[in-house]
Amino acid sequence: MRITLPINPINPIKPIKPIILAFVLLFAACGGPQRQAPATDTVVDDYDRVVVIPSCPQRVVSLSPAVTEIMFALGADNLLVGRTDFCTYPAEVEAVPSIGGISNLNIERILSLSPDLVVSGSMVGKKATDQMDQMGVPMVCVIEKPRFDALYDNITAIGRLVGKEHEADSLNALMRERVRALDTDTVNHPNNQTLPKVYYVVGFGPGGNFTAGGNTFINDIIRMAGGRNIAESIQGWNYSLEALMKENPDYIIVRREDSAAFCGMKPYNTLDAVRRGHVIGIESGTFDLQVPRNIDAILHLRQRMGQSPVQGQ
């Protein structure tokens, strides 16, 4: 079965500082009539790489579904000249040329788009990063991080990279307000043993069982939705079938496209959550990417688990 590792699969618990814009002196929109923006800025990205970037990039290639989605949310989609096959949200992204997959980047295709900035994510390895450096194209890495709150930092970082600081601040304010509207009793008591036990399916079947451990933003989402992740004590993604069967979770979360296969496969079909119809199919991207739609996923899960009615979107 397909396995998707939404945050850094090499070392997901390594603390990585958010992007620091070292020489951003202006917060006015690029090209404003009041003053001339500097030609370049210097940033330190999430891999501690010092990168000189254009202060007002006009041609951006995104190598991360999360980065692409956030750029659209910020109204910076007009700057996108390239994306990956996995950048599928929102639907309008189909109009942006694809450079192909992520694991084996087509460097020549990226260069053919003449980008003045490339923004990558967790799934782009050091080899590809080094290749882009050798080609002289600025690449900034904005990776997904272990805590939910880091989403705000990523939005701020991407907003500054593409000249959308004000829009990033507004989006973060809106999301914070939606989070504050949640039932704070549930959010503030993550270790309450009376909460329903939840298991998130990342991978399953003969190839092994994989889920999101306690050192992932997905664990935070489950907690904020009013559940207790049965894998909260593990670090990483591997989870034993024996542990899953023993814990026998109250609810199972799985990508919608994988739901039927999971529910029909032994021994998963003997779990109480499967027999009682407590398998929650989740839209890809809302749960396994660190994006604004995470809040929609929280609200959807809360409704399905009977924690609270759906709030206004």
- Say what the pLDDT of residue 133 is: 85
- Say what the pLDDT of residue 30 is: 57
pLDDT tens-digit profile of 234-292?
Answer: 998 999 999 999 999 999 999 999 999 999 999 999 999 999 999 999 998 999 999 99
Indicate whether 222 pLDDT > 70: yes
Q: Using only C-alpha atoms, what is the Rg of the chain?
A: 20
Indicate whether 311 pLDDT > 60: no
Contacts of 57 (CB under 8 A, 6+ apart): 79, 116, 117, 161, 162, 163
Beta strands in the chain (DSSP E): 20-21, 40-44, 50-54, 60-63, 80-82, 117-120, 139-141, 197-200, 228-229, 251-255, 279-282
Pairing of the two strands 20-21 and 40-44:
antiparallel
Query: Which whole number is the average pLDDT over 67-93?
Result: 97
- Say what the pLDDT of residue 194 is: 83
Q: 121 vs 33, 46, 66, 177, 200, CA distance in Å?
A: 34, 9, 8, 27, 22
Query: Which whole number is the average pLDDT over 91-97?
Result: 97
Residues 92, 276: Cα–Cα separation, whole Å = 38
Handedness of CA 236, 237, 243, 249 (dihedral sign): positive
Query: Which whole number is the average pLDDT over 61-74?
Result: 98
Indicate whether 307 pLDDT > 60: no
Domains of the chain: 20-177 (3.40.50.1980), 184-304 (3.40.50.1980)
Q: At which residue do the structure tokens 């994306």 appear?
A: 83
pLDDT tens-digit profile of 181-199?
Answer: 886 455 555 556 689 999 9
